[in-house]
Every structure is written in C-alpha cells, then in structure tokens.
Structure 1
Amino acid sequence: MDKTVEMEMKLTIARKDLKKLLASELIMAKTIKGSLAKQELLTTYYDTESYKLTEAGMAYRIRRNGKKYEATIKTEQSSGGGLSARREFNIPLKKDAPLLSGFAELGLEADLEELLAGEELQKLFTVEVKREVRLLQVTPATVLEMAIDQGKISAGKQKEKIDEVELELKEGTKADLLDFTAQVAAKIPVFIEPRSKFARGLHLLGNGEEHELPKGRLKIDRGGMVQDELGKLLEYYGDRILKLQNRLLLDKTMLVQADKLLLPQFRHLQALLALIKPLLAEGEYDKMRKLLAEPAGTLNVLFRYKRLLQQWQLLQGTAGSSFLQRPQLAEKLTEEIENILVEVDKQLQQGVYSHCIFKLLAWTEQSLWQNSYYVEVEQLAGCRIEDWYNMLKELDIKGDKIDEAQAQSILRICEVIYYARRSLKIDRLSKTVWKDVKELYQRIQILVYDVYSSKCLLNCVKGNNSRALYRDGGLLLGWRLQALQSANAKALKAYSKLLEDLKK
C-alpha cells in the first residue's frame, strides 16, 4: 500500500444510530486497545488569490492539533461508491505559517514555487472539529481508523455544520474497507458524504459547485481486462445510486421520480452482472442478483403503477367527457402509487440502498472472476451477444403471436443487451442492429407492461366493494386486451427484424 495515498470512506450517520453502532459488538470487538483518543483540530486552508493550487488539483492546509502544527498537500482525488483516494504529503511545522519546501522530498512531483509564480498563499477558510478517533482491526491484515468529526466550516460570514464519520484505511486492503462498511450499513442507516471538507469550504466561498452527478457515461478501455474495466463500471453506477439516494432524501418533491432516476442505474448493474455471469463461480450471480432485487423490485412496482395510471388517463382522454365523472380508478391507482412512494422513502431512510451498493462493491473487490485477466471486455461482449442472440432464437416463436412468457423472456434479454450496450458501446453491434434492439425493446415493453401485465390492476380492484371501481377496472382491462393484436404484431415484426439482422 502506497503510504502517500489516503483512502477513506466518508459517511453521515444520525447521532442515535452512531451511538448504537459504537455500542455494538462490531465496533467494540474490533477496537484496538488503547487507541481511543479525542482531539480538537483547527485546520486552515490556503491558496493564492487566483486559486493556482486549486486549479492544479491540489489543496494546501495547516492543521493545529494541540500545540503541534502540520502542513499537508492533498492532490486531486479519484472517488466512487463513497470511497475517495488521494495522495497526501505531510510535513511538521514549527509555527502556524505556510511553507513550500519539503514536499518534493516526500514525492510531490509539482514544483510549488514555479506553480505559484510569486503569488502569496492566503487564508481561504477554517475548519474546526472535535474528533473522536479509534483504530479498528477489522481483519488480521486490515486496520481502519474511525474518526467521528463534529464541528463547522467558516468562510467569512458563511458557516456549515460538520457531522460525519470517516473510515480511513491504515493497513490492508480496499476490499476489507468496503466489506466493513457494508457490515456497518447492515446494522444502521448510513449515507455517503461525497464532498471533502475542502470542496465544501470552496462552495461556501462561492468558488465551488454543489455536488452533482457526473455528466455522460464512464469511458472504459474495451481492450482492457474484464475485471478491471467492468469493476469500474459497477462502481460508477453504484456511486450514482448512492448520490441519487442523498438527493432524494434532501428533496422530497423528487421522490415521485424515484423510479425514473434510480431504475436505469439498477438496470445497468443487472446488465453488467448478466454480462459477466459465465465468469462467476456457481451461485455468485444469483447472490448478487438477489441483493439488487429488493430496492430494484420496489422501484419496478412503482414504475408499473405509474404506467398503468398513464394508460387509464389516456383511455379517459380517448373516451371523452363522460369519463371525467368517474375518478374512482384514477384515485385508487394514485393511492397505490403514494403507498409505494412511502415504502421507497422508508428504504431510503433505512439505508437499504447503501447496504446493497456497499455489499456489491465489496464483492466486486473480493471475488475472483474466472479467467477475467485473460479476457478482454470486447471479447466477452462479443461472446455474450452471441449467447443472447441464441437465447432469442431458442424461444421458437411460431405463428403470429408472442405469448406472455415469451414476451417476458424477450424483455429480459433486450434489457440486458440495451443497458450493456449503453455502458460499453459494444462494437459487435452495428448501427442497424442497435437500432433494431432499441425498437424491439420499446415494442416488447408496450406488450408486457401495457397489454399482458395486469397484476397491478387486479390488485387495485381485488377485495374492493366499489362496483364503479370494478367497472372501470374491467374497461381498462378490455382496452388493454383490445390492443393485444396490434401490439403483438409490432413486437413480432421488430423481433423478426432483429434476428434477421443479427444473422448478418
């Protein structure tokens, strides 16, 4: 492990839950005897008036701990899944004043004098925290430092509260750090804090941006080894879920969009797992698929009810003004949607997404995918496209109808191809075939969700005493069945065209 690299997990935990965690066997049994300490830290961050260090991807700070002073330079970080890794260079100081010499000897490659070009360092903001720290022996090989910080960031008249927990890797492996974080998340709700104290301070000064999701998609090396490159993608989509979780918790008005925001991220993860399935040991794929099932399943039910409500509203618009006097089914569907949103919010509050993603990322680091370091991403993708093509052929659809079971199978295969292609930009799919996949995916969704899948609708009317509700449910069910022939014909046409073009 490179001693200049700081690798840490930054978390937020409610005080009542943190108290419960600290009293648990998970912490008590792993705390190294005599390691518990309390500190009062005052940290001042510096840069030039034109932010030369920040522009170069560096942060300069002086920290006072008791009567001791230490200058630190941190380089630009890489982060994902709540985990950050930065190079850190520390030198002791005799007094509270910035010093530029001594960092090169520690391995800092930048020439600070040349970089600053004569500009002086000046104070940006301060961070005051009371820190409780302990060392945890989480495995025989891995030691983590658990730091609980409470305090504030002060930038002029602007202030922001600090209340966070850091798990820093002192010795051992990233896999153990992730696995321990997953164990913590299984006991209490935990959430990531994706911003460093430096980034938060810059934002208070008006020189930083609020943390947003990364634009575009992660670019990977399709000629690279499978476990390296696909591991990056699993971390990337896991990180997006954790950040979206934070956003939804902060802004409850966005909760109604939970399926729209989160389902695509879970589908990307599910597609990547399906892609690597042949490389996994027996039972591994099913274990990870099951892990994703709870949060993804709830979001999928929300998606289905919202789609059903949209269909009913479309039928109302088609039928004319008489339907406006019959709100029972719309009200019932809206009620069901609200109930599901309560469940989604409950999962968010309980940290279900955090536990799921940390466990997935820990597994990604710990598991050994068979022959993964001998197989390139593009090679695997080509083989899997062939597998999925054969699965489509084996459905053996005859006549002019795709039955419900076949439609469900096509949907699963198309979904995997669609999201795997969006993640990897698989070269084995020509523009024509990719267009065919998207067309079939759209048509088969209509067939599955808007024609065949009536479980949500039946659940709405089942056990209800309202004749009007049964009447409207029957009307919507009849309208869906009336659309069967047309939807089936379009899906069958798209299916046949994709198979034909895949042969080429």
Structure 2
Amino acid sequence: MLASEEREKSMEKNVETELKLLFGKKELKALLELPLVTKKTIKGSHQSLKLVNAYYDTRDLILRQAGIAYRIRQTGKAFEQTVKMSKRAAGGLTSRGEYTVSAKGWHPAPDKFNGSGLPLDLEGLLGGAMLEKLFSVRVRREVRLLQVTKETVVEMAIDEGHVLAGKKKDTINEVELELKEGRLGDLLEFTAQIAQRIPFFTESRSKYVRGLNLLGKMDPAAQAWTSFEPEGKSSYAGAVKGQIYQYGTRILEEQNAFRESHIEEEADRIFLPSFRTILRNLFWVRTLFDRAHGLVMNLRTVTEPLEKLHTLKEFRATWRKLYKSAGPLAGSDKLTDLVEKDIARTADKIRGQVRDGVYTAVLFSVYAALEQGSWNAGDYLQLDQMLQLSAERTLEEIHHRLVEQSRKEAPAAAAGKKGKERRSKARRQDGGACEEEKLLARFLEQAAPLMGHLGDIAGRVKIEALTKDGRKKLARLAESLEGSMARARLLQYAAAQLGQVRDAVTACEAGLLCGWLLAASQAERRKQVKYFRKWAAEVRLPEKADNMPPRPVPEKA
C-alpha cells in the first residue's frame, strides 16, 4: 500500500475535516428522506442538541493574527474549550487542527491546553494579554452518524440558529458533514451522490469568520480569492489536486453570488477561466491519472454551454464591427437580434444548471475521483518532471500526426520536377495554396489544441526538445492557432444561421460575415503553415514509437 493511502486510511489525530453545505427548506426535507441518508444512519445515533458558543480573543486580536480561533461551548450543563488552527479550505471542505479540553463555565483557561497536543505555547503567544468575548453563536443541532462505507463514518449535523455580535446577527442554516473516521474520498463520493439527487450550495465561511464579519474585523483583502502556483519540485499529484481544488472552490463560491444576481450573460467570464484551468490540468496528467478522461467528459456538460455563450458574444462583437463598415449594404441589422436571442437562451440554460446544482454535482464528482483514482508515480514524480513528460508525449503525438500527413504528401513529393511544376500551377490557380499546403493546414487545424497545450507547458518549464528561439516560435504559432479556432467557431455558427434563417436580409448578413471570416482564416492559415515549417525545422521531435518512420524534413518556406 502506498504511503498516501495509509495516511488516508487512518485520519491524522486532532484534525477536523468537514463540509459545510447550504440547502433550501424543501431540499433539506428531501435530504432527510433520501434513502442514501436513511439507510446509512447508524441506529441510535440521532440526537438533538442546543449549543451555545462564545468566541474569544485579545483586544488587538493576537489569536486571529496567528490563525487561531478560541471557543468555549456549552452543551446542556457541560462546558468545553476548543482551539482551532488555521484551516485549508476548498469549496466548502475544510481541514484544520482542533484541540479540546474541559472548561469551567465561561472562563477562558489557556493553561488547560498544556499537554493536550496543541503544537504551540498558547500562554506564551498571549504574553499575559487577557481574552475577551468577541461574539456568540446559538444553534439547535440535529446530529446523526452515517456509515457511508465499511471503513468510513460521517457525522451529519444540521444547524439552525444565529451568530450574535452586539445588536447585529447573521442567520445560520447549514448542514455539516464531518469525517469521523475513514477516507476523504468516501466523504466526497457520498457528497457527490447527494448533489446528483438534491441541489445544494457550499459555505466556505466558518461561524468564526461570519462573526468577525459582523464585527467589521475581517480584512476584505484577506478574504479575496488569490491564485496559487505550486512549486515545481512538489509532487505532481498534490500540485494538480491543489490546482483543481483551488479553481473548483472559486467556481463554487462565484455561483453563490451568481444565482442571486441577474448577470447571466457574464457567466462565461465568471466561470470559464476556472473550468479551463481544471481541464488543462487534467490534460497534463491524461496518461498518469486513470480517471482523467472520464472527468473531462463529465466537465464538458457544463463547459459546452459556457463555450457557446463565449462564442455567441464574440460573434456579436465581430458582426457589429463589420456591420459598421459594410453591413448597411445588406439593409437593416437583423442578425444582431437573432444572435442576442440565442445569447439569452444559452445564458438561461446556464442559470438553470447553476440553480439545479449541476456545477456542484460535477465538481464534487471530480473531487471524489481525485482522491479515489490511481496516480501513476504520484509519490515521487515532481510537477516539473510531469510537465516535461507531458510535453514529450504531446510532441510524440504531434510527430505521429505529422508523419501521417507526410504519407499523404509523399506522392506529390515523389513526382520530382513535374510535381514542382504541378504545385506551382496549383498555387497560381488557388491563390497560392497548393495541395501540400492544404494538407498541412488541415493538420494544423487538428493539432491546434495540442500546440496550445505545448505552448502553455513551454511557458512554465524548459522543454529539452525546444531551443529558446523554438519556444518563441511556438508561442507565436499557438497564439495564431487559438485565433483560428475562435474564428472557426464563429464561422460554424454563421453557417448554421444561413441554414436556418428564411428572410433574405438575415441570410445576406450571415453570408457577408461568413465570407469575411473565410477570407481572414485563409490568410491566417498561410501564415501558420509558414510558422509551423520554421518551428518544425529546428525542434527535436521525439521518435520513440517503434512504428513511426523517420519524420520528413519540412520544406523551407
């Protein structure tokens, strides 16, 4: 068994791992009636509790600055005091150190934590400063234990109550799923199964943070989302998981605000960059992580409407620009109205996915797979090494496709002088593009995503097969290909409109845009063929596969 699996099997002592979820009243009732919950509830574990909590710190928030929350809790007549350490959070999932000892009433006693395992000198940190009450939390809690698998027990706690800070209060209606024993992957899989049946949202703020917000003691900058770039020497599995958790968290937090606003048309701007980053990470590990392909297919259910919305908005902007100069020749602008209706329909579909919890279900399925899947060499392969490996395999795939293309070009190349004359004649008759160039252009259309991924990797690590000049040429080529893919999407949509519209004005406008896009695409493709030949002439393409013939020497531009 791998060391990571052993760590997962036995949870670290004094570490609290939990999820905070938000359900509507109707959805909460459905949750409690769900067979997934009722059949897994451990007999005799259900109980109702009244909890009163008070949080403490010094006047200048010494504990807060050290990443510590100090709480005293009353349950019935019993009192306990707890220290919670800095947390790691991802989309409602938190993991943090938690140390609890007995208390005498509402009187903080930091000295009681001596010998509790707390990895710091609490009294020394306070330096004699007095602890004062900040705010209180009162909740009615329903608790039940769930045997989600043979190895894993989860505590489900339903909290209803308030955070009280002076005259201010914040309502609490949340469900906590805490891992009591077993595997994190089981908790995430169980949560994903709930999400597939009942829509819910996540709450990344703790009750402590919500109380500080009421007091105005939380720095907004400290709560702002910041990107995190893992170290190149870190484990690739941990780095990829961290990136996916991080950007998944951003999506889950953004959707909480999105569902309460009316900014449907901005959905692509809000969500698409994070989804693309997750997909990019999965592409890098496609040959190392056994569930990568399945996760990509699952994510497509939410990214396809976002990509369509992005394309429609680009289409509208492109058409408006063209219409200013040439459109009036076709008559009144009817194409814009048609596109805006399609934008509204697509944006409404995205809102429905968010409302119905589709994003939540997909992301928790991804999280569960990250923990349950098999990572080849996950314990020792570093991030930089993984990127190098991904680059090599991408180059191999580009090489393989190039070889296949060369087989199509071989008859023309073997024709000698007659072949050259024929190609020269073809260039004159077809605007300078011979059959050989067409084939290479088609190859670049197919290989564009690969070139884009390779360019992205080259911007992060040094690829042995590429010279410094080769990396620059690759960046320029990848950027050009990205623009071509965007135009191809616009052209595809414009052609679809031509096949659907019935009035002559709209058809004329769509045809005008199609012609403009085609002309721009053809001009750009000739440049790309030139760029690619220059790049391929100096790149050291791998030749590892036994069935690959030697690569052809590219023709000079």
Could you state the TM-score of these two structures normalised by the residue count of structure 1?
0.92
Equivalent of 1:63 in 70, 73, 84? 73
Partner residue, 2:225:
214
SS of the equivalent of 1:208 reads coil
Q: Are 1:133 and 2:133 matched, yes or no?
A: no
Q: Deviations over 1:414-467 (max 9, x none)?
A: 343355567xx2232776555444422321122222146533223334433322
Q: Which structure 1 segments of 5+ residues have no match?
A: none
Query: Does residue 277 of structure 2 align to residue 268 of structure 1?
Result: yes
What is the TM-score with the length of structure 2 in the denominator? 0.84
Which stretch of the first structure deviates more once superposed, 4-13 or 406-415? 406-415
Cα distance in 2 for partners of 1:370, 1:352 equals: 30
The match for 2:173 among 133, 155, 163 is 163
| CA 1:451–1:353: 2 relative to 1, 3 Å | closer
Indicate the percent of aligned positions where both proteins have the same amino acid: 33
Task: Please say if residues 391 and 457 of structure 2, whose CA atoms lie closer than 8 Å, have aligned partners that are also in contact.
Answer: no
Counterparts in 2 of 1:70-109, with a 5 A limit? 70-109=80-119
Residues 198 and 114 of structure 1: CA distance in aligned 2, closer, same or farther (over 3 Å): same
Question: Given that residues 311 and 450 in structure 1 are in contact (C-alpha distance below 8 angstroms), is that contact kept between their aligned partners in structure 2?
Answer: no
Give the aligned partner of residue 295 of structure 1: 302
Counterpart of 2:123 (choices 99, 103, 113) is 113
SS in 1 for 2:144: strand
Q: 1:115: how far off?
A: 1.6
Q: For the residues of structure 1 that align with 2:219 and 2:338, how far apart are their CA atoms?
A: 42
Q: Work out the CA distance in 1 between the residues paired with 2:489 and 2:345.
A: 24
Judge conservation of contact 1:407–1:448 (CA < 8 Å) in 2.
Answer: no
C-alpha offsets along residues 260-298 of structure 1, whole Å, 9 cap, x if unaligned?
Answer: 2322222222222222122244xx333112111100111
Contact kept? 1:11, 1:192, Cα under 8 Å? yes
- Give the aligned residue type for 2:487: D
Report the Cα offset of residue 91 of structure 1.
Answer: 1.3
Match of 1:384 in 2: 390
Indicate the larger mover: 284-293 or 427-436: 427-436
Contact 2:16 2:179 (8 Å CA) reproduced: yes
Stretch deviating more after TM superposition (14-23 or 266-275)? 266-275
Q: CA deviation at 1:494?
A: 3.6
Q: Retained in 1: the 8 A contact 2:91–2:203?
A: no
What is the match of residue 446 of structure 1?
A: 483
Report the Cα offset of residue 119 of structure 1.
1.9
Aligned residues of 1:226 and 1:375 also touching (Cα < 8 A):
yes
Larger radius of gyration: 2
Distance of aligned partners of 1:105 and 1:442 in 2 relative to their CA distance in 1, 3 Å threshold? same
Structure 1 distance, partners of 2:148, 2:307, is 36
Alpha-carbon distance in 1 for matches of 2:131, 2:489? 67
Q: Which amino acid aligns with 1:409?
A: Q
Whether contact under 8 Å (1:272, 1:420) holds in the other structure is no
Alignment of 1:78-477 (within 5 A): 78-210=88-220, 212=223, 214-216=225-227, 218-253=228-263, 255-281=264-290, 284-319=291-326, 326-396=332-402, 399-401=436-438, 406-419=443-456, 425-428=460-463, 432-451=469-488, 454-477=491-514
Choose 491-500 or 397-406, whichever is displaced more.
397-406
Q: Residue 487 of structure 1 aligns with which residue?
A: 524
Q: What do residues 325-382 of structure 1 show as CA deviations (whole Å, max 9, x unaligned)?
A: 6221011111111110001101111111111111111111111123333433222221
In 2, distance between residues paired with 1:76 and 1:145?
A: 22
- What is the CA–CA distance in structure 1 between the aligned matches of 2:338 and 2:522, rounded to whole Å? 28
**Partners of 1:106 and 1:410 in 2: CA distance:** 59
Letter matched to residue 86 of structure 2: E
Q: Which moved more, 1:37-46 or 1:429-438?
A: 429-438
Q: How well do the aligned residues superpose, as a CA RMSD in angstroms?
A: 2.3
Of 116-125 and 452-461, more deviation after overlay is shown by 452-461
Hey, what's the Cα distance between the residues in 2 that align with 1:2 and 1:491?
A: 54
* Residues 12 and 193, structure 1, Cα contact 8 Å, conserved in 2: yes
Q: 1:434 to 1:29 in 2, by over 3 A?
A: farther
The question of whether the paired residues in 1 share the 8 Å contact of 2:327 and 2:333 is answered with no
Within 2, Cα distance between the matches of 1:125 and 1:431? 58
Distance 2:30 2:364 in 1: 20
Residue aligning to 2:415? none
How many Å separate the matches in 2 of 1:322 and 1:384? 51
Q: Structure 1 452/56 Cα, relative in aligned 2: closer, same or farther at 3 Å?
A: closer
Q: Check whether the contact 1:178–1:359 (CA below 8 A) recurs between aligned residues.
A: yes
Count matched residues: 497
Aligned equivalents of 1:212, 1:101: Cα separation in 2:
31
Q: 1:130 to 1:176 in 2, by over 3 A?
A: same
Q: Secondary structure at the match of 1:102?
A: helix
3-state SS of paired residue (1:106): coil
